[in-house]
Structure 1
Amino acid sequence: MTTPRETILAALHARLSALPATALRGEVLPERVPAEGLLILRDGEPGEPEVTLSPLRYHYQHRAEIEAVVQGADRDAAFDTLTASIGAALSADRTLGGLCDWVKAEAPRPVDLPIDGAASLKAAVIPVVLHYSTSAVDVPT
Structure 2
Amino acid sequence: RLETAGSNPITSDAYSDRASSRTSAYTRRENRLAALSSRPGEEISKDYRKLYESALSDNQKLKSKLQGAQFELVDIKSKLDKVAQQKQEKTSDRSSMLEVEKREKRALERKLSEMEEEMKVLAELKSDNQRLKDENGALIRVISKLSK
TM range, normalised to the smaller chain?
under 0.3
Q: From the CA coordinates, give the structure whose radius of gyration is larger.
A: 2
The answer to which structure, 1 or 2, has the higher relative contact order (CA under 8 A, 6+ apart) is 1
The two structures have a TM-score, normalised by structure 1, of 0.24
Higher normalized helix content (fraction of residues): 2
Higher normalized strand content (fraction of residues): 1
